[in-house]
Chains A and B, each alone.
Chain A
Amino acid sequence: MTTAVELAQDTPLTIGGRTFQSRLMVGTGKYRDNDTMVRAIEASGADIVTVAVRRVNLDRTKEEGILYHLEPKKYFLLANTAGCFTAEDAVRYARLAREAGFNEFVKLEVIGDQETLLPDVQGLLEAARTLVREGSRSSPTPTKTW
Chain B
Amino acid sequence: MTETIDVVVNGERRPVARDATLLELLRSLALDPRAVVVEHNRRIVRRPALGDVRVAEGDAIELVHFVGGG
> What residues of chain A have their CB less than 8 Å away from a CB belonging to chain B?
26-31, 37, 49-56, 58, 61, 63, 65-68, 78-80, 82-83, 92-93, 95-97, 99-100, 107
* Complex contact B68–A66 (CB within 8 A): yes
Beyond A61-B30, A96-B39, A100-B37, whether A80 also contacts B70 by CB under 8 A is yes
> What residues of chain B have their CB less than 8 Å away from a CB belonging to chain A?
9-10, 12, 14, 29-32, 35-37, 39, 44, 46, 62-70
Number of A-B residue pairs, CB cutoff 8 Å, is 91
* Complex contact B12–A63 (CB within 8 A): no
* Complex contact B69–A50 (CB within 8 A): yes
Q: How far is the CB of A63 from chain B (nearest CB, A)?
A: 7
Q: How far is the CB of B12 from chain A (nearest CB, A)?
A: 7
CA distance A50 to B67 in the complex (A): 10
